[in-house]
Structure 1
Amino acid sequence: MRNPSLAFFDASAPIGGYVGGFIAGEFIERASLMWMLVFIAAVSLVVTVALWALLPREVSVDHGEKLDWI
């Protein structure tokens, strides 16, 4: 399970760079800069809501005790 997880993690940067470059190129060819900014904001909103809904909640490690911040 570890090897496929690392493979997907390692492949995410080049795939993201390719897809991002493709999307940016298409927007530059077909639309104005304002629509690219609107698209980026919409994608960011969708990803933020999806992560908020899908990620597990953080469990407090404090349990009512004081943390030593230093």
Structure 2
Amino acid sequence: MMKQDESMINKQSKHIEEPARVEELPSFTLAGISTVTTNAAEISGNGKIGKLLNNFIHTALAIN
């Protein structure tokens, strides 16, 4: 890494942006589906994301 790149990273990391506001909301439940995959698996045609999306679209999880 070049020294110029390092100095830019250091300058950026010193500045922490605070949120404009924080709101506390009542709790709620989230439900969903997930999978674990790799870029190599997705590229090879044995990926899981397409199957996961298909499952999501064709089940009651997809709310209209």
Decide: shared fold, TM above 0.5: no
Interval of TM-score (by shorter of Structure 1 and Structure 2): under 0.3
What TM-score comes out, normalization by structure 1 length? Answer: 0.26
With the length of structure 2 as denominator, give the TM-score of the two structures.
0.28
Query: If each structure's helix is expressed as a fraction of its own residues, which one has the higher value?
Result: 1
**Higher-RCO chain (CA-CA 8 Å, sequence separation at least 6):** 2
